[in-house]
Amino acid sequence: MPTESARVVIDLDLPGPTISRHLYGHFAEHLGRCIYGGFWVGEDSPIPNVGGIRSDVVEALRALRIPNLRWPGGCFADDYHWRDGIGPRDQRPRMVNSHWGDVVEDNSFGTHEFMALCELLGTDAYVSGNVGSGSVQEMSEWIEYLTRADDSPMAALRRENGRDEPWKVPFFGIGNEAWGCGGNLRVEQFASLARQYSTYVRNHAGNEVYRIAAGASDHDYNWTEVLMKSFGPLDGADGPAGPFQGISLHYYTMTGPWDDKGDATSFTEDEWYVALSRAAHMDELLTRHGQVMDRYDPHKRVGLVVDEWGTWWNVEPGTNPGFLYQQNTLRDALVASVHFDAFHRHADRVVMANIAQTVNVLQAMILTDPDTGALVLTPTYHVFAMNTPHHDARSLAAHVIAPEASRKVEGKALPLLSVSASSKGATAHVSLSNLDAAQERTVVLDLRGRDIAGFSAQVLTAAELNSHNTPEHPEAVAPRKLDGVRRHPRGLEVDLPAHSYATVALELGADD
Ligand code: AHR
């Protein structure tokens, strides 16, 4: 029997801030099998490819309408020297990827290959620049190489390497995790460097760059505060901030300590709840980093960019510990849906987010088999697919009112229903996550302000909390139609299976 109803009040005629599609961004680092084997197989591979880029991966990601792709790192970005990755592939210098497996990187995937990938995906490039071991000149020349149209030295070099037209690069990262792998810098030191490096990431040929300075980890509110102070007065409402426009935040979900983060597929019911409670902590982080930013920037001219988030488990047994390859279960799917609810609620400040990482690394959308090349779409992939209607829609406040079931997890109350909603034109979408491991739940959607002309719903769930997809069982966790939705005097009533994520699509009628 479903447990007693929860009621969710949504005012359909009071749309809030726009949920940027860039909240659904992705991240591809030179790490393990993300680039090599994941995106890039090389032109001579038996795996179908376009200029070396896997066609099946591109096709799967195009269906998600991924808005931007961050590259080349992560920690790798602060070791990366872009000139090593241009020109004839067989003449490119090699380097050691010291962060990730200590393997030799042959630079066969570089700037031109990344930009070709973005073009195939139809996505915006988010290039992450090297502050930790790179020079201001190197960063300045990279943006010139990428985006300048005339016969400047870097534009001419790009042409020599086969690309006439400049590319568009809307997003550029100024360092990564500068407090750690990006140089072990103190925040005051990095704030000065961020101002300096950003100044030389110039807008060429009408390419307007949004510069994102490496921000805090987790609850390091002081890092955010010092970066915000470095702007100087931001009390006017107009124009983009400068010299950088956004600051980042990184937060990963795990159930154990750093040296034993928890297993991806073998976990207890308690660990299910710990993971979801720690995922729900993203909301508090956004609130508190946002409060710090509000003190310096009341008009929200500076964006918060969560450019690394997701689950980080122990690697799959038998795989290289430096490659961060992990399975992905229904639990990961709900970690993602809870994050999206938080991003939607904070859409006025959070302008962009990037899950770590797209293929074969951490909380991936796609896993590929290193031997057979077989491709599997993960439960997390399906959450991204089900969320596409929220892209660039207007956020709607969704108030969960009593009785709101919750569970004490690590001393904090975890609400067992996570909700968010948005509207666009004559449609609205509601996301509902039932975090209860065992109990189904009936939810009343108290829909105010507009008539409901029609509705449909989808659900993602599975028999087990740790159900996951494999080449043998690629659809063990896949969305299906949700039949348990019916009209109710207040709007709609929805039966949510235990441990499930559902989206309800509404066709809006007249104002009521
Ligand atoms: O995503 C894996 C790593 O996590 C990134 O390289 C780094 O920025 C973070 O610590």
- Paired with 104 in beta bridges are 96
Q: What is the pLDDT of residue 1?
A: 45
Q: In whole angstroms, what separates CA 45 from the centre of its chain?
A: 29
For the CA of 180, the nearest atom of ligand 1: 10
Give me the count of residues in the chain: 512
Phi-psi map region of 224: left, alpha, beta (phi>0 left; psi -120 to 50 alpha): alpha
Check 105, 113, 308, 493 and give the catalytic one: 308
Q: Which atom of ligand 1 is nearest to the CA of 362?
A: 1
Note the pLDDT tens digit of each residue in 450-496.
Answer: 999 999 999 999 999 999 999 999 999 999 999 999 999 999 999 99
51, 106, 384 from 88: Cα distances, Å: 14, 12, 36
Read off the pLDDT of residues 252-276 as tens digits, 9 standing for 90 and up. Answer: 999 999 999 999 999 999 999 999 9
Confidence of residue 510 (pLDDT cuts 50, 70, 90): confident
Burial 414-436 (b: 16+ CB within 10 A, else e): bbbbbbbbbbbeeebbbbbbbbb
Q: Which atom of ligand 1 is nearest to the CA of 182?
A: 8
Is the pLDDT assigned to residue 189 strictly greater than 60?
A: yes
Confidence tier at 97 by pLDDT (50, 70, 90): very high
329 alpha carbon – ligand 1 mean position (Å): 21
Q: Which residue has the tokens 């990938």?
A: 117
Q: What residues does ligand 1 touch, defined as CB less than 6 Å away?
A: 29, 73-75, 176-177, 308, 356-357, 362
Are the C-beta atoms of residues 450 and 511 closer than 8 Å to each other? Answer: yes
Residues 13-32, mean pLDDT to the nearest whole number = 98
Structure tokens at 281: 């902590």
CA separation for the pair 270, 290 (Å, rounded): 31
- How far is the C-alpha of 205 from the C-alpha of 269, rounded, in Å? 55
- Give 121's Cβ-side CA count (13 Å radius): 27
SS3 of 338, please?
A: helix
3-class secondary-structure state, position 507: strand
Mean pLDDT, residues 107-134? 98
Q: What confidence tier does 403 reach under pLDDT thresholds 50, 70, 90?
A: low
Is 177 one of the catalytic residues?
Answer: yes
pTM score, whole prediction: 0.97
Atom of ligand 1 nearest to the CA of 308: 1
Q: Specify the long-range contacts of residues 191-195, CB closer than 8 Å, at least 24 apart.
A: 191/226, 191/227, 191/229, 191/230, 192/230, 193/131, 194/131, 194/227, 194/230, 194/243, 194/244, 195/230, 195/243, 195/244
Mean pLDDT on 418-442 = 97
Distance CA 512, CA 510 (A): 6
Mutation test residue for ligand 1: of 75, 126, 309, the one with most atoms within 8 Å of CB: 75
Mutate to test the pocket of ligand 1, among 33, 177, 251, 361 (most ligand atoms within 8 A of CB): 177
Q: Atom 8 (ligand 1): residue with closest C-alpha?
A: 74
Residue nearest to atom 9 of ligand 1 (CA): 74
Phi-psi domain of 18 (left: phi exceeds 0; alpha: psi -120 through 50; beta: other): beta
Relative to beta strand 103-105, strand 49-50 is unpaired
Cα–Cα distance measured from residue 247 to residue 443, given in angstroms and rounded to the nearest whole number: 37
